[in-house]
Structures are given as C-alpha cells and as structure tokens.
Structure 1
Amino acid sequence: MAKAKESSAEIVQGRLGPAERQEAWRRLGSEHFDVVIIGGGVTGAGAALDAATRGLRVALVEARDLASGTSSRSSKLFHGGLRYLEQLEFGLVREALRERELMITRIAPHLVKPVSFLYPLTKRIWERPYTAAGLFLYDTMGGSKSVPGQKHLTRAGALRMVPALKRSALIGGIRYYDAQADDARHTMTVARTAAHYGAVVRTSTQVTGMLREADRVAGVHVRDVETGAEIEVKAHAVINCTGVWTDEIQRLAGTRGRFRVRASKGVHIVVPRDRIVSESGMILRTEKSVLFVIPWRNHWIVGTTDTDWNLDLAHPAATKKDIDYILTHVNKVLATPLTNDDIEGVYAGLRPLLSGESEDTSKLSREHAVARVAPGLVAIAGGKYTTYRVMAADAIDAASPDLPGRIMSSITDKVPLLGADGYHALVNQADQLGAKHGLHPYRVRHLLDRYGSLVHQVLATADGNPELLRPLAGAPDYLQVEIVYAAACEGALHLEDALTRRTRISIEYPHRGVESAEAAAKLMAGVHGWDDKRVAHEIEVYTARVEAERDSQTQPDDQAADARRSAAPEARPEVIEPVS
C-alpha cells in the first residue's frame, strides 16, 4: 500500500491529523481555556471560530465526528426560507439572506453556490402576484445582490426549463435563486478554520460530566471514546452547542434549561440526474410544508419530511412510509414517476426545534434561543443551518459575563474560511492545474468546489504516488488522494467518516459505499497505521451500518426502523449514550 508523501517543511493550515489529535489531548488536560464548546456541528464549529478570532482560548470537543449529527443531514441549502415569509418571520428571513450573501461573496465562495428553483404556479389570477410579491421581498431583503432576481414564465416556458413536469401540473412558473453547499464539508471547513486560528478541535471526545467551583461550572470531564482515557478540561465558560442533545447535556449539568428542544425528523432521497429532466431545481407545496427537488452534482436530492422523533438521536432512521411520502408527492408533478428502484441514497436528519405550543413541527419557529442557564454555562439551540454564524456569535456574547476582561466583538463576517482565498483565480487556472497533475479540468473544478485553494495541499499529498490521483474503486467521482487527505488533514478517524461526510459516497451510489469500503480503508490505514485486522473491522462495521439502514428503510414505522438501525455496531463503540 503506497503511503502519501509529505514534506516535513510543509505547513498544512488547520490540519486535523493524527499528530494534531495527540497534541490536542495534551492541551485539553494542561491548559485553562476561556471557552469549552460541546458539539462539533455547524453551530459548535462556528462558535469555536468566533471565539478564536476574538482572541479567546477555545477548545471544541465532539463525541463522534464533525457534522455527524444534523449538520451532515440537512437539505444542503443556504436559504432565507421562503415559507417563513408566509409565517411573517421577516427578521429571520432577512438575517438568513444576509448570511447567504456573505457565504457566496466572502466567507465560502468555494463551498456555497447559487442554485435556481422553479416555483410552479397552479392557481389562476391570485397566485402569481401573491408569489411575486413574496419573491420581491426575498430578492431584496438582507442585501441580496449575488443571485439573479425572479423570472416569470408561462406554462410553455416553465416546461422548457423543466421538461420532466406534467403539463397539467402547472399553469406557469417563477424561477428564483437560493444557494447550496455540501453541509458536512462546510462544517468541517469551519472547524478547520477555527483550528487554524488557534482553537483546539478534537473529535471522539465525549463530555461525561461538568467541573464545578462552588455554584459555577468551571469546565468539563471528557472521555476519549477511542481509547477510554479520561481527563478534566478547565474553562471560564462552557457552551452547549449540541443541537438535539441539548436537553441531555443540561441534565448532565444538573441545571434546568430555559428552553427545551424538540427533534423533528427530515428524510431525503437521492436519485440520478437523468431521472428528472430539468435545468432547475423545484420547490413544491405539500399539505404540510414544501418539498424541494435540489440539483446535486450528477444527482437530485428530493425532500423533506417533517415528523416528530423521540427515539435514538444519533441514528434517526428513515421508514418506508417516509420514502413513500416523498415519492408520492414528487410524482404528482412528474411526467415519468420515480420508483424505489431509482433511489441511490437515503438519509435522515433531526432538526433541533425550540419546543412550543404547536403540535405541528413544521410550524415551530426556526428562530434560535441562547441562555446563560447557570454561571459558567451557556446553551444555544434552534435556528437553521444558514444562520449558524449569527448563532455562534450570540453564544459567545452570552458567555461574556463569565470571561475575564473585555472581549472583542465578533468579526467572522470578515473571516473567509480556509480555501476561499485565491479560489476564483484557481477556477480560471483549472486547465493549467489539470495539465500539471494529469487531471481533466472537469476533475480539477470538482476538487476546487470541495477544497478551494486547499486543492494544492490535496494534490501535494499525492507527490511521489501518482496512483493516488486515480479514481477510488466503486466511486469514480472521487480520487484516492481525497481519502488519504481526509484521514491526514480533515480529522477522519473511521471509514464511516470518510465515506459519509468527507465524501458523500454513502448517498451518491446505489451500493452506498460498500464497493469502495475496502479500497478506502486501506488508504486510511496508511495514515492511521491500521493493521489488517483493523482494516477488516472498519469494513465490517461500515457494511453492517449500510445493511441496517437499508433494512430500516423497508420498515413501516419509526419504532421498527429504529430497532433495525440501532442493531448495527457503532464505529465509536465507547460512546456512552445519554440516559433520558
């Protein structure tokens, strides 16, 4: 097995590799931090970046993997939330659209891209002006300038844009724009950027208790779920950014929270691009909410559902009922219906909604709440992926009474993520970069949209090992070097991390990553020093996970699906599940 060559003089920005992991453990046990953040989703990663760029000493700990919860299982959109206009949540929409603009133009242009949607019109007279008025607000709120405005289409024009639609499914349409990103890669890049600015970032590191000094929280007990080792991490403030686990961490702290979090399950399916002939995504009304058909490279993502979930928070399971719901609603408008045989991938995520009086999760607010629930302890929950940066800044602000001295204001609206600087120039140089490394320019552009200007680091990982620039077995959209880089620099500790989050092989191929597992595990072995037994174990655990997920997706209800999914072994078996 060829091992990636690495120059000793090379400095990799924000590297999360084996050596950095070992050093992070030493620092966690020996330093006194201003802030310890619990949770490696986008809010926690954002809070770590916010704190680090204010000059604070910050540590981020995550029990599993970066973005392993909600932040890798979203609709993958940076959007204002068109339906929130109807709920009169103008402030939320304005804030989200401002964040969308920042991401596209300054913070993450390599990761966040404009994407068009067709809004099919089905009612005569009133629907077009009503929708146009809403979209006019949408196009002008929050300083939106980087995406085109709405365009009105006749039925014939809409069908030319989306030939897949039934003629009877619409009387006209309006095209508008939002933005999308690979949520898991974006979250990981936020965390790496935080590490670049000095944050200690460590995954597979579970909080098992709180440290106390008199009546205040003064840090956390943590456990390395890979080795079982335990240490204490001291800090002036602890911030609970655990999303749907917020209430569990509150119970661990022995404090009563100011709000409660309710988990709403959202399921998406992934189908090949040629199954829906269209130049644009679509947004479709349902009786409960909306259904998105979202372009995703050579695929479409179709979703989502919106139902209560009260079972395993780590592994929400999609059911046959969920999948049938999506197929039924999208097939109402498609000339050629989708079938179960068309589905390449399925994923289920949990929205951390603030609990309210409504029993309908689709009507619960997507506003976030932040509270100093005890001296030294802040909790933040709710919100939506798009506004993660605002949530992060609010969380650090809320911790300020517990921090020594005056803290600086948030500046993350001015801080590009790693890979953003130089990205646009590299897009123009894709041909030259491809020629230098023997890659097709299309392949280089694909890499640029995943790594931005960090592409040089990725390609340098293959120096002396040109075979690493060949496609990965079973997943030709990805290069072997991407798996090596994921393990060496992006914090991927297990095969599951690489196949489900650093790449999206687990949802983009009908085999769900099984046909790539052996090749990927052997590539990771070269970084982590795995022996044959460990390689076989990683493959076995990953394959069992895929089989359990497939099985759960044939079950009629949540209880049955959860039982099948929960039967699969954990990649991190030392994780302690909270007791509710």
Structure 2
Amino acid sequence: MIGFSNKNRGLFNSRLKNEKFDVLIIGGGITGAGILLDAQTRGLKAALIEMQDFAQGTSSRSTKLIHGGLRYLKQLEFALVAEVGKERAIVHKNAPHLTVAERMLLPLTEKGSIGKLGARFGLWLYDFLAGVKKGERRIMLSADDVLKIEPLLDRTMTIGGALYYEYRTDDSRLTFEIIKEGMLRGGLAINYLKAETMLFNAERMIVGVKAKDLITEETFSINADYVINATGPWVDETDALDQSSKKSKIIHTKGVHIVVDHKKLPISQSVYFDVPDGRMVFAIPREGKTYIGTTDTFYTGDMINPEITFEDRQYLVNATNQIFTNVNLELSDIESGWAGLRPLVREEGKSPSAISRKDEVFEYESGLITIAGGKLTGYRKMAEKVVDIIRKRIKAERSKDIGSCQTAEIQLAGGKFSENIENVLAFFIKEGDKIGLSAKETEKIFYRFGSNTGKVLNFANGVPLSGLPLYWSIQLQYCLEEEMIAGAEDFFVRRTGALYFDILEVRDHKEAVINHIANYFQWSDIVKEKSFKLIDNLLLNF
C-alpha cells in the first residue's frame, strides 16, 4: 500500500476517475468513516470523499467523550442508553489508546435538576442498561465525601453526589483511525474533494458524482453503484444535489467548549454539574488544561466556521463559577476552545437540549441513501444500518449476500495490541528515551498514535527538521507521510489537538511547521502566505 499522503493525491484521484466503486460515501466525519470500514470489510469496493479535512466538522468538535448515555435518561431514551453503553465497550476494545476511562463526579445541589433518589435510581438504571462493568459502577456519596473528593465545590449548595465513569477520547483521531483501517483493507478516502453534482442514468438513478478537487481545482466524475450522503450538518445541502424537492431534515444546534489552564480550575477529576437553566455541563482535566462545555443553542450561521461568541464564553465562565465558588474564573483565563454543530433530526417545538440525538436513515427514488443525526459513540451501528440497506439491495438486484457487519471485532489502525496496553506504553517510553524524548512526550505520542507509535519514533532516524524540537518534528513527518495532512491546520487541530490543548506550542512552532509543509509540497509563496494567515486567524480568536 502506498503511503496515505497528499503527495500521492494524483494516484488516489486516478483511481477515483478510472475505477467503478460499489459504494461512494460523501462525508469524512465519523459516520462516513464507519460506513467506509463496514462496507469494505463486507467485500464491497468503497470510496469516501470529504470537502474539508477528515473530521473537520462535528467529528472534531464534540465533548471528546465516548458517552455511556447517562444524559439520555432524562429524555427517557432507554434503548439509546443501552445501545451506546454496549458500543462504548466495543470502541474501547478496538481502540484502547483513544478511549481512557474517566472517573466522573456528579455533585448534587439543593436547587439542582437531579435529587438524591433520582440520581440513585438513574445511575442504577444506567449501569443496568449500559452494561457497565463491575469496577466502574456508580458509587453514591454523602456531601462530606463529595467535598473531600472535590473541595472546590460550593459547600453550602452540595447535598451529596455520585461517582460514575465515562470514557475520554480524541474524536478526530478516532475518526481518522477508522478511515486508516478502511484504507488498510483496500478502501479509498480523499480529503478536500467536494461533490458538486450527482450523476444520473437514463432512469434518473444516481450512478456517481462529479467532484472538484479543492487543492488541484480539477473536476472529474466518480462512478458508483450506491451513493451515501453522510455529510452531517450539510445533509440537506447534499440531498439538494439529487435535484428533487426534499423537506429539510436537519436542525443545527451549536455546542461550545472553552479551555483554561488546569491551575485556573484545578479539579482532581472530571465533574458533570447542573447549570441553573436546567442543562448539564462537563469540566474535564486533560494534558495540563481543563476544558468546560458544552452550550446548546439553535444555530443558523456559517457552518464551516461557527463562532464562539462573547455570550458563549460568558455562559460557561458563569456556570463554572456558580458551582466552583472559590475559583473566580474570568474571560481572560480562556486560552482556546472550539464550537461545533450538532446535526439533529428535526423535531418541531422542542428546545435544543430536548431534541433527540437519535439517527435516522432516508432512502430516495433516485437510490440515494442519507443518514442524519446520531452521536459519536453510535457511529458503528449507524454504519451498520446503512450497509445493511445496501446488502438488501444487492440481494434483490444480484442475488448475492455480502453478509452481516463485522466491525465489532476489528481492531482499528493504531489499536492493534496483542498484549496489555500499559506494557506496550512502557516499551515505547524506553524507546523514546533512546532518541531523546521525555517519558511525558512519548506518552502523549502513544495516546495519539497507539500501536503506530514505533513508526512515529522511527522518523528520528532521518534528517531532523530544523527549528522544531524532536517531539514535533517526528509527528509532523509521520503525518505528512501517513496521515494525509494538507496544511498546518490539519496538523495542529485534527492530528494532534495542539491548538486546543497546547496553544503556546502552536505559537512557538507555527513558522517552522508551515515552512516544512511548504517545502514538502513545494508550495508557491502565495499558498504559503495563505497558510500563515489561516493559522494566525485561528490564534487571534484567543
């Protein structure tokens, strides 16, 4: 297999132009990624195109948790709780480096939306429905116990609490590991390639798309038996390419997270707390920072770059100060953050938080299959639904059975461990020490790239990149050669998360990173200047 690099873009595009695919997926978020892998493992020839970078939309802007589904109990969605609980265990098994058990404190307050009896019953039901393993089941706490665990909480408001577990993840890296696994199994995925029109045969059935490469500006046709719309927030716009009148299926809500230095909010574990307006907010420590979120408001603005407004920041700062009364967080403490859009299946008359997070599949006379809604944790089951529809069609049209979903048992790229993950990490720490990496640096690389860490470390054997510490140099080289980055934003945001959790490092090393990417791709001065402006604009937001 040739390297998954944008240097090989011409070869990938040549395949798209000259081969016919069983399945073409439009949309490179986690849903599209899951469909690519599922289809490919059932023997179908699958391709995926994404108009931005992989995971650039919703799939890199979540709360970065593989939810067990506790929040859905409030909406009485018991089946959804059971499903995502089981799916969480599968994701953890197949990508253990990206799913870390996170102890969550649920403080109960006098005027909160959850009382002691409600919390006890709700968490019991959660453990039962989600199939929570014994060592991670709820523990009910007295007010004194809660304050011993988290002394920053308001003593006058706290009446008790509970401990339970969620799984922290890196949403964009999880998406990318799924795509890479699909590629390893013969699939094809290209970023920055936009579907502009649908291709129809004489019977007005869709037989592919005409797409534009947003890097080379070349336009060409891609032929496929089945076309899937998995474009998340852009589902309605992509459906419109079908040239038939369709009612809007999606309503967008915006979720904002802010990041502060851990010293500003030095919580000892994650906290899931009540807000006066009836919502719940997470505060989660990660890599020397604490991130807080999320908001939930209807949104009709720019879908590519949703803005973090003053009101969004103030809401989260106020919510934090109301529960952690001795913290006194200020707007100036915010170092970074992100705003993402939830593409929810439209339910008229409901508030943003009351709209179900369920997914739904739509089939059209043209043959187009569209999937909308859903959650990060449920990506695999969403993919299974879509490919099962294709399975039925192939049975009817070709008298052939492609079989059932296999992805529950597939270790993802980067998740291929044959022994205890802690032992593998210890081995890589020793290897990292040999080339001059600290244990902390190697650990960060490991929980980013997993079983591919050895490939990352191997780049220390080549020519070092001037102006960059070894830690950044080897990751940049690996991402250029094996992770399809097309620019500095791809690297700093979706491959490493540095813009969110290491923003000072981005400021320090942006020039060297952009210079090396420019040399690698032989950029013109104009393209290079655009890259500098893009990163500077991202940094100006904070």
The normalised TM-score by structure 1 is: 0.87
Write out aligned runs for 1:146-161 (5 A). Answer: 148-161=136-149
Following superposition, the deviation at residue 429 of structure 1 comes to 1.8
- Check whether the contact 1:61–1:206 (CA below 8 A) recurs between aligned residues: yes
- Give the secondary-structure state (helix, strand or coil) at the position aligned to 1:462: helix
1:176 to 158, 164, 168: 164
Per-residue deviation, residues 490-527 of structure 1 (Å, max 9, x unmatched): 11101111111112222224559343321111232343
Secondary structure in structure 1 of the residue aligned to 2:263? helix
- Residue 308 (structure 1) aligned with residue 303 (structure 2): no
In the alignment, structure 1 residue 348 sits paired with structure 2 residue 335: no
Evaluate the alpha carbon distance shift between residue 124 and residue 511 of structure 1 in structure 2; reply closer, same or farther with a 3 A threshold. Answer: closer
Cα distance in 1 between the residues matched to 2:33 and 2:384: 11
Letter in 1 for 2:414: G
Corresponding position of 1:539 = 532
1:167-204 CA distances to partner (integer Å, 9 max, x unpaired)? Answer: 12312221110101111111111111111111110011
Q: 1:6 is matched with which residue?
A: none
Query: 1:208 is matched with which residue: 183, 189, 196?
Result: 196
The one-letter code sitting in structure 1 at the alignment partner of 2:230 is C
Amino acid at match of 1:385: L
Q: Kindly indicate whether the alpha-carbon contact (under 8 Å) linking 1:487 and 1:528 is maintained by their aligned counterparts in 2.
A: no
Q: Tell me: CA distance 1:247–1:467, structure 2 relative to 1, closer, same or farther (3 Å).
A: closer
1:359 Cα deviation after fit: 3.4
Determine which of 460, 463, 467 is the counterpart of 1:462.
460
Which residue of structure 1 lines up, in the alignment, with residue 215 of structure 2? Answer: 226
Change (3 A) 1:169 1:492: farther
What is the alpha-carbon distance in structure 2 between the residues aligned to residue 22 and residue 249 of structure 1? 25
Using the TM superposition, give the Cα deviation of residue 453 of structure 1 relative to its aligned residue in structure 2, in angstroms.
0.9
* RMSD (CA atoms): 2.2
- Matched position secondary structure for 2:199: strand
Mapped pair 1:111 → 2:109: no
- Give 3-state SS (helix, strand or coil) of 1:277's partner: coil
Pairing partner for 2:484 from 460, 472, 491: 491
Deviation at 1:141, TM superposition (A): 2.3
Using the TM superposition, name which of 453-462 and 511-520 deviates more. Answer: 511-520
**Residue of structure 2 aligned with 1:380, choices 371, 374, 377:** 371
Once the two structures are TM-superposed, the CA of residue 305 in structure 1 deviates from its matched residue by 0.7
Q: Deviations over 1:403-448 (max 9, x none)?
A: 4432221111011111111271412324422333332222222211
2:283 pairs, out of 260, 271, 293, with: 293
> Once the 2 structures are TM-superposed, how far is the Cα of residue 402 of structure 1 from its aligned partner?
4.2
Shift, 1:480, TM fit? 2.1
Deviation at 1:461, TM superposition (A): 2.1
Work out whether residues 7 and 521 of structure 2, in 8 Å CA contact, stay in contact via their aligned partners in 1: no
Partner of 1:418: 413
Alpha carbons of structure 1 residues 514 and 273: separation in structure 2 relative to 1, 3 Å: same
Task: Name the aligned partner's letter for residue 29 of structure 1.
Answer: K
- Does residue 337 in structure 1 map to residue 328 in structure 2? yes
Within 5 A, what are the aligned runs for 1:158-169? 158-169=146-157
Aligned pair in 2 of structure 1 residues 232, 172: CA closer, same or farther (>3 Å)? same
Amino acid in the other structure paired with 2:448 = R
The equivalent of 1:560 in structure 2 is none
Query: 2:491 and 2:38 mapped to 1: Cα distance?
Result: 26
Determine the C-alpha separation between the residues in 1 that align with 2:462 and 2:270: 42
Q: Deviations over 1:267-307 (max 9, x none)?
A: 11001112222221111122242111112221111011111
- Secondary structure of 1:420's match? coil
Shift of 1:470: 6.2
Residue 158 to residue 82, structure 1, CA distance change in 2 (3 Å): same
Partner of 1:77: 65
Match of 1:136, SS state, is helix
Where structure 1 has 5 or more consecutive residues not aligned to the other structure, the ranges are 1-10, 473-477, 551-580
Q: Is the 8 A contact 2:467 2:512 kept in 1?
A: no
2:506 is the alignment partner of 1:513: yes
Q: Which residue of 2 aligns with 1:503?
A: 496
Question: What is aligned with 2:355?
Answer: 364
Deviations 1:24-71 (A, max 9, x none): 100100111000000000000111011111110001000010001011
Shift of 1:540: 2.2
> Is 2:46 aligned against 1:58?
yes
Alignment check: 8 A CA contact 1:62 1:206 kept: yes
Contact 1:222 1:231 in 2 (8 A): yes
C-alpha distance in 2, partners of 1:38/1:181? 24
Per the alignment, do residues 293 and 176 of structure 1 end up closer, same or farther by CA in structure 2, a change over 3 Å counting?
same
The residue matched to 1:274 in structure 2 has which SS?
coil
Task: Give the 3 Å change call, closer, same or farther, for CA 233–510 of structure 1 in structure 2.
Answer: closer
Give, as a single letter, the amino acid of the residue that structure 2 aligns with 1:489. Answer: E
Matched residue pairs, number? 531
Q: Counterpart of 1:406?
A: 401
- The Cα of 1:375 is off from its aligned counterpart by 3.6
Aligned residues of 1:239 and 1:399 also touching (Cα < 8 A): no
Q: 1:485 to 1:401 in 2, by over 3 A?
A: same
Distance across 2 between alignment mates of 1:510 and 1:383: 31
CA change 1:490–1:469 in 2 (3 A) is: farther
Deviation per CA, 1:59-101: give whole Å up to 9, x if none: 1000010001011110001012312112110000111111111
The equivalent residue for 1:243 is 232
- For residues 358-406 of structure 1, what are the alpha-carbon distances to aligned partners after superposition, in whole Å with 9 as ceiling and x for unaligned? 3311111111001212342100011111101111111112233444432
Opposite residue 101 of structure 1, the aligned amino acid is A
| 1:531–1:167 Cα change, 3 Å | same
1:267 maps to a residue whose letter is V
CA contact (8 A) 1:512 1:546 kept: no
Q: Distance in 1 between matches of 2:134 and 2:461?
A: 38
What amino acid is aligned across from residue 262 of structure 1 in structure 2? I
Q: Matched residues in 1 for 2:349 and 2:474: separation?
A: 49
Instruction: Give distance in 2, aligned partners of 1:257 and 1:407.
Output: 31
| TM-aligned CA distance change 1:194 to 1:313, over 3 Å | same
Tell me, yes or no, if structure 1 residue 92 matches structure 2 residue 87. Answer: no
AA of the residue aligned to 2:405: S
Is the CA contact 1:114–1:147 (under 8 Å) kept in the aligned structure 2?
A: no
